[in-house]
Structure 1
Amino acid sequence: MGTTRLAALAGHFGRDVERALLKLDALIAKARDDGIDLLVLPDACLGGYISDLRSPDPDELPPALAADGSELQAIARMAGSMTVCIGYTELCDGVRYNTAACVTGDGILGSHRKVHQPAGESLAYAAGDAFTAFDTPVGRMGMLIDYDKTFPEAARTLALDGARIISVLSAWPASVTDRAERLAQDRQSRLFDLYDSARAAENQVVLVSSNQTGIQGGLRFLGQAKVVGPGGDVLARTGVKGGLAVADLDVDYEIDRARKVLRHLEERRLDTYRSLLEEGRP
């Protein structure tokens, strides 16, 4: 397939959807001019994330948008030939989901509703129920939304479905119980990076990880967008402030090279993972 230019954004997006669309129009146009093939934007780009992770105010929730609404249609037009992953609050049959959509100028190629919900997030969103890979111009890929990447089974399910790129869209804050003075020293900062590298290495895939920055209510987001190779090596990253992590990579070559001797997906021992296979076990 040749070299693919992969990019992950660290940036701040709040409640104002129209303002976000204007910001994204300029950002996506710049990325397209820079030859980026895959742009992964943060979770909750359109309308922002909840302001309190433990007890979200029902009167202060992000605006909910339809998957076939004008907002995602606008993002698709901006994307053109580029593949863009973006997060938003989806409204479907009166139910709200924390959702990621992957679009090009042809429309929505794939979507993912966040499955794993930390703390009080279930008070603001319903949970998704599936991890599914899909085909894109940059290859077969899948998406996760922040807390999903804490669970190895989530990324593994996508890899087993053929995903060679996993996009992780986050609105990942610093610790809400034991906050450090500096974001770089916060324990959630360490975990955010650890999960990115671990999920890439254990599945021998490329992982493109975005995140929100700045403050939303009582939450302060970590940034730390990055592109991770199939050996868990960080190829490009941002700091805690806004920025774009960009890496040029022959995805198929690097994954095939990583799997040349050790092939994690093929060498699993399903007969030994009894507790994972026995329904109802804690």
Structure 2
Amino acid sequence: MRIAAVAAHFGRDLDRALRKIAGIVGDARDAGADLLVLPDATLGGYLSDLRHPDPNSLPPGLAEDSAEIQQVIALAGPMVVCFGYAEAVGQQLYNSALCVSGDGVLGRHRKVHQPAGEALVYAAGETFEPFDTPIGRLGMLIDYDKTFPEAARALALDGAAILACLSAWPASVTDRASRLPQDRQSRLFDLYDCARAAENQVVWASANQTGVMGGLRFLGQAKVVGPGGDVLARTSSKGGLALAELDVEAETARSRRILHHLQELKPAAYQGLR
């Protein structure tokens, strides 16, 4: 199986985003990708300020049956594609992700964990639920969700062998480094990607925004991580496609042959997590 994770910039312009998605999907298809993971907020961009979001400059809210989402479904064709958008439900917005193929929606996720002022704009999701796809059982998380080990663990325990994490992860807002690779958030972004894969012995596909939105500078650093926590492919802070080919079932089984983390859990010892 070939898995591709994207580093790219997406802003408010939906028509431009759809043209960019079409180009990326075409490149991924030419590369033989079976799964393509796009960043958080692919349609409409992310917030421009995490501490004090501008109510007059929010991502456009879209319903799941909107023309824009139907266009992404049509573009996907036989490929499995994950992408992020601002989901409108009545007057409420969710920071959401969809997993689609040309046949329609395969799975969905609403971001559960909210950093800083995101709760001023979005309602929070409540669950982590994997779903079956043509390439196997898959789960999704949205950026800050991956900071919490329980999120990825819940998906892995429910049978997900591939976890897709869609991010709009910026450099540090309070302690910005002069160069992105030296930024504290850059280090944490990579650390969480590798740790979550290794903890759960799953394949991890991490996509992220690049460029600048208002006061936020996004890190890029898209990657595919194997079930041993090894980075199989990655991009830099600039746009690009991280593409890795592996046998997910065989590699997952190999990583669990001696030490099987999910089977060796001791739930009775974790009373504080209730």
Q: TM-score, with normalisation over the residues of structure 1?
A: 0.96
CA–CA separation in structure 2 for the residues paired with 1:154 and 1:136: 20
- Cα deviation code 1:112-154 (max 9, x no counterpart): 0000000000011110000000001111000000000000000
CA–CA separation in structure 2 for the residues paired with 1:147 and 1:28: 25
State the aligned residue count.
274
Match of 1:85?
82
Secondary structure, counterpart of 2:154 in structure 1: helix
Query: Counterpart amino acid of 2:248?
Result: V
Say whether residues 1:137 and 2:139 are aligned partners: no
Query: Counterpart amino acid of 2:193?
Result: D
Match of 1:241?
238
Match of 2:167?
170
Q: TM-score, with normalisation over the residues of structure 2?
A: 0.99
Cα displacement (A) at 1:11: 0.3
Q: Please identify runs of 4+ aligned residues in structure 1 that moved more than 2 A.
A: none
Match of 2:179?
182
CA–CA separation in structure 1 for the residues paired with 2:143 and 2:268: 30
CA–CA separation in structure 2 for the residues paired with 1:23 and 1:240: 18
RMSD: 0.6
Cα displacement (A) at 1:94: 2.1
Secondary structure, counterpart of 1:32 in structure 2: helix
CA–CA separation in structure 2 for the residues paired with 1:21 and 1:104: 16
Say whether residues 1:8 and 2:5 are aligned partners: yes
Query: Counterpart amino acid of 1:119?
Result: A
Cα displacement (A) at 1:33: 2.1
CA–CA separation in structure 2 for the residues paired with 1:95 and 1:41: 23
Cα displacement (A) at 1:221: 0.1
Partner of residue 113 from structure 2, selected from 108, 113, 116: 116
CA–CA separation in structure 1 for the residues paired with 2:159 and 2:179: 39
Cα displacement (A) at 1:93: 2.4
CA–CA separation in structure 1 for the residues paired with 2:142 and 2:123: 14
Cα displacement (A) at 1:26: 1.7
- Cα deviation code 1:187-235 (max 9, x no counterpart): 0000000000000000000000000000000000000000000000000
How do 1:11-30 and structure 2 match up within 5 A?
11-30=8-27
Match of 1:280?
none
- Gaps in structure 2 of 5+ consecutive residues: none
Secondary structure, counterpart of 2:123 in structure 1: coil
CA–CA separation in structure 2 for the residues paired with 1:154 and 1:166: 10
Cα displacement (A) at 1:95: 1.1
Match of 2:212?
215
CA–CA separation in structure 1 for the residues paired with 2:107 and 2:148: 21
